[in-house]
Amino acid sequence: MADRYIEVSLVKRDVTCRARLLDDRAPITCAAVWDALPLAGDVYHAKYARNEIYALFPPFAETEPPLENPTVTPIPGDLCYFAFAGAELGTKAYGYDREVRAGTTLVDLALFYERNNLLLNADVGWVPGTVWGQIVEGLDTMAEACNDLWRSGAAGETLSFRRA
């Protein structure tokens, strides 16, 4: 199979990077994401994992992908996939307003932009994610925008994933 690429963007900030799908390491997750593209949603900056931005989506795969190519220590440029029950994220500490409710399932597509990330959550413990893509172009510019998002706030910003 030829390499597949996507573009990941912070729409309002007009910043885009390019990522290669890791079809050889996470084939089921890559297929699920690829088939669902384009996807876009409100962006959040991580509170616990550190250097992470992400968006939440309703489940889009016919069946939930298994944990593939797992990590609890994502590196700069990793794209990770998580699935959460709404009850896992439904506390006021997370700051969600409309997306998270008990009885729902959410898919979290995340981009890690700097070092020293640890997927350990005080509420639930270790939170392994599937690494399904790696940024190959534009990570430095995206990291600057992510730091600005951390300092200036995420309100009104959209994280977009689309085929390249």
What integer pLDDT is reported at residue 90 of this predicted model? 60
Pairing of strands 125-126, 120-121: antiparallel
Dihedral of CA atoms 72, 77, 83, 87 in degrees, nearest 10, equals 70
pLDDT digits (tens, 9 = 90+) for 28-69: 999 999 999 999 999 999 987 899 999 999 999 999 999 999
Structure-block tokens of residue 83: 């699935």
pLDDT level of residue 85 (50, 70, 90 thresholds): confident
Tell me what the mean pLDDT of segment 112-132 comes to. 92
Q: How far apart are the first and last CA of the chain?
A: 16
Q: What sign does the dihedral 111-113-119-121 (CA atoms) show?
A: negative
pLDDT digits (tens, 9 = 90+) for 134-147: 999 999 999 999 99
Tokens of 42: 């409100």
Mean pLDDT of 116-133: 91
Collect all residues with Cβ–Cβ distance below 8 Å to 57 and sequence separation of at least 6. Answer: 36, 39, 41, 106, 107, 108, 109
Q: Is 75 helix (H, G, I), strand (E, B) or coil?
A: coil
pLDDT tens, residue by residue, 88-102: 666 655 556 555 666
- pTM assigned to the model: 0.93
Q: Render pLDDT for 43-52 as a digit per residue (tens, 0 to 9).
A: 999 987 899 9
The number of CA neighbours under 13 Å toward the Cβ of 73 is 2
Instruction: Identify the structural domains of the chain with CATH numbers, from first to last.
Output: 5-163 (2.40.100.20)
What's the confidence (pLDDT) of residue 111?
Answer: 98
Q: Please tell me what DSSP assigns to residue 121.
A: E
Answer whether 71's CB lies under 8 Å from 61's CB. Answer: no
The three-class DSSP label of residue 93 is helix
* Mean pLDDT of all residues belonging to the chain: 91
